[in-house]
Amino acid sequence: MRDQFHDDLEEIGQTLVQLAKLVKLAMSQASTALLTADLAVAEKVIKEDDVIDNIQHELDAKTIGLMARQQPVASDLRTLVTSLRMSADLERMGDLANHIAKQARMRYPNSAVPPELSLTIQEMGNVCGQIVDKVTLILQNRDAQKALEIEKDDDAMDILHRKIISTLLDPKWPHGVETAIDMTLLGRYYERYADHAVSIARRVYFLVTGEFATQKS
């Protein structure tokens, strides 16, 4: 029974890694759709968000079932509780990629991103990919020290987000209110995606150490 229980715990960890890879792909494709006005890619991201949702729902059901049947204590209980929270973060990351893809679809055949912000959005997408790559490794290896480093990686996203805001506040902004609203939302989606990745890293730190990582101010 205990061997099966620990096999189930291992499977939960593997599913979290799978989700991390899926939400990375979703964000990469959503960014491509956004920057190239590619409707087919946008529709693919939107459709496949259901896959991420279903995996997360199944994972949570499995986790709750194990908690009910096995009544785990100590580190095993911490693993299961943390899994529920990390799966919620990953599902939300998938939702944010979905929102970006929907924004691309809404403005098709035009691009939702004006030329002067294309590079910034591209960089935001790149930062998302880099952060999730690190989160995936942290989930696989349960590396508490690496988990702390994600906070610094998120600083790059914050800088890019502030760059968008400052561009929108420029009195010479030439693209009108509608595009400004689009860019405000898009900047927020990318920033929140990275925030959820940071949240997962903090949870891995808690899982390994039993202590909460200090949040940046």
pLDDT tens readout for residues 161-206:
999 999 999 999 999 999 999 999 999 999 999 999 999 999 999 9
pLDDT tens readout for residues 113-140:
999 999 999 999 999 999 999 999 999 9
How far, rounded to the nearest angstrom, does the alpha carbon of residue 170 sit from its chain's CA centroid?
A: 30
Domains of the chain: residue spans and CATH: 2-209 (1.20.58.220)
User: How far apart are alpha carbons 9 and 66 in whole angstroms?
Assistant: 9
Does the structure show a pLDDT above 90 at 156?
Answer: yes
Q: How far is CA 149 from CA 9, 41, 84, 105, 146, in A?
A: 26, 32, 23, 35, 5
| DSSP conformation class of 216 | P
Does the structure show a pLDDT above 60 at 87?
Answer: yes
Does the structure show a pLDDT above 60 at 217?
Answer: no
The H-or-E segment that residue 52 falls in is helix 39-70
